[in-house]
Amino acid sequence: MQGQRIELVVIEDDEEDYIITRGLLDESEQERFHIQWAQTLHDGLGLLSDEVDAVLLDLSLPDSVGWETFASVHETAPHVAAILLTGLSDEELGSRAIHEGAQDYLVKGSMDSQLLCRAIRYAIERKQIEIRLSEIANELRARNAQMDTELAMAREMQLALMPRRYPDFPASAPRGGTAIAFCHHYRPCLELGGDFFDIFPVSETSVAVLICDVMGHGVQPALVTAVIRGLVEELGAQAHNPGLLLTSLNADLTRLLRQPDQLIFVSSACVTVDVKTGGMFWANAGHPAPAVVRACGGPIERLGQPPGTHAPAMGIDESSTYETYEGLLGVGDRLVLYTDGLYEVIDGEGEEFGEERLVAAMQPGGALLLEDMIRGVLDRVEAHAGTGDLDDDVCIVGLEVKRVEA
């Protein structure tokens, strides 16, 4: 403020006190003041135009006393820096006013020119900072509101990329007469998630289930899931050989996501089931092994790779290739694919739920409907977490063979 003319209003009913204050201001060698004086609150409020920088305010006026005096000034001119003039007995009131928006208070009779001018200058600077911070806060609120709207829209778009209805197999089956039933649960830990799954036909009698987990959370992984969806649309016909599909996805993803200073990788598993033969074909790219729950009971099987083999996540090495493995699914058998957000849940004591517990939670599934089995797994995970909130994206997809076509 040095060198600039300060527009100042003094609201003081005692003329002698005003003359003393005016004299102290006139002694300043650094600031130039244009001073307007009022002896009542009513007259003073009329002087508080947009051009006024600061007001020196006596809290004891003929038409207003105490807290209400400041409150009226602050309500009328919130842009003006208010410095209160108090008596020795009013210091508590002055402190309260500062908490409510005043910039400073000065005790009458204890001021000199330097103290008074510095208090006015600093009060104006603080007020300007306060106003700017308020403007920034309002801008941030507006931007956050816009971002929330856009994130909600993006979330709806992301959910639209997931299967909206499960396909019937074989394709000729009457509505509701599908040979394969599906169930899934998807929950991002933020507005947008990095987990993704798709269920799509490969032939008249075979269907593929693809599940992916993009590293990280939020907007970037969500964008990658959209890229994966587009690539699956182009390459889905290769899912008769899941290893070939993952190999092609990896090559394209690595080229698209390669950044000189950033590594983005995607774990994935793909399983194709043929309802004509009961054949099951799978491949894995660094993803948790899908589980098979047999209708006949017995231990749950895992669709992993042979010992000594390695299947890295996609997006790391463009030349990585993935093998396809084969098995059989009979009537009543179930296949469960999931992401690591389910078993990496930590309880209040820091203990992880773990993949073994997760798989064990599927064990009694044969006696339950598929939907109830999946819900039971989620209940166990949430009970371990102790709250309904999970720290990672969660995706689980279940498949049950209802019949095998002759």
- pLDDT tens across 374-395, in order? 999 988 888 888 865 566 788 8
Max mean pLDDT among 3-7, 31-35, 115-119, 268-272 falls in 268-272
DSSP lists the bridge partners of residue 272 as 208, 281
Coil vs helix vs strand at 48? coil
Q: Based on the number of CB atoms within 10 Å of its own CB, is 31 exposed (0-12), middle (13-18) or buried (19 or more)?
A: buried
- pLDDT-based confidence at residue 157 (cuts at 50, 70, 90): low
Dist CA 98 CA 82 (whole Å): 9
Quick one: three-class SS letters along 76-129? Answer: HCCCCEEEEEECHHHHHHHHHHHHHCCCEEEECCCCCHHHHHHHHHHHHHHHHH
pLDDT value at position 394?
Answer: 84
- Residue 346, classified by CB atoms within 10 Å of its CB into exposed (0-12), middle (13-18) or buried (19+), is middle
CB 138 within 8 A of CB 202: no
In terms of pLDDT, which residue wins out, 293 or 215?
Answer: 293
On the question of pLDDT at 285 being above 90, the answer is yes
Mean pLDDT, rounded, of the chain: 85
Tokens 């007469």 identify what position? Answer: 177
pLDDT at 364: 62
pLDDT in tens, 187-241: 876 666 678 889 999 998 899 999 999 887 767 777 788 888 888 889 989 999 9
CA distance 104 to 130: 14
For the segment 153-172, the average pLDDT, to the nearest whole number, is 67
Condensed to tens digits (0 to 9), the pLDDT of residues 123-155 reads 899 888 888 888 888 888 877 776 666 556 656
Tell me which of 98 and 123 has the higher pLDDT: 123
Q: Is the dihedral of CA 111, 113, 117, 118 positive or negative?
A: negative
Partner residues linked to 186 by β-bridges: 395
- Is the Cβ–Cβ distance between 44 and 58 less than 8 Å? no
Q: Summarize the chain as % helix, strand, coil (round to 5).
A: 40, 25, 35
Q: Is the pLDDT of residue 109 over 90?
A: no
Name the band, by pLDDT with cuts 50, 70 and 90, for residue 44: very high
pLDDT for res 66: 80
pLDDT at residue 399 in the model: 93
Domains of the chain, start order? 5-134 (3.40.50.2300), 162-401 (3.60.40.10)
Question: Among the listed ranges 3-17, 271-285, 347-361, 385-399, which one has the minimum average pLDDT value?
Answer: 385-399
pLDDT-derived band at 365 (thresholds 50, 70, 90) equals: low
CA 86 centroid distance within chain: 48
**Lowest-pLDDT choice from 112-116, 145-149, 243-247:** 145-149
Alpha-carbon distance of 45 to 9, in angstroms, equals 9
Average pLDDT of 235-256? 92
Is pLDDT above 60 for 305?
yes
The answer to whether 124 and 6 are in contact (CB under 8 A) is: yes
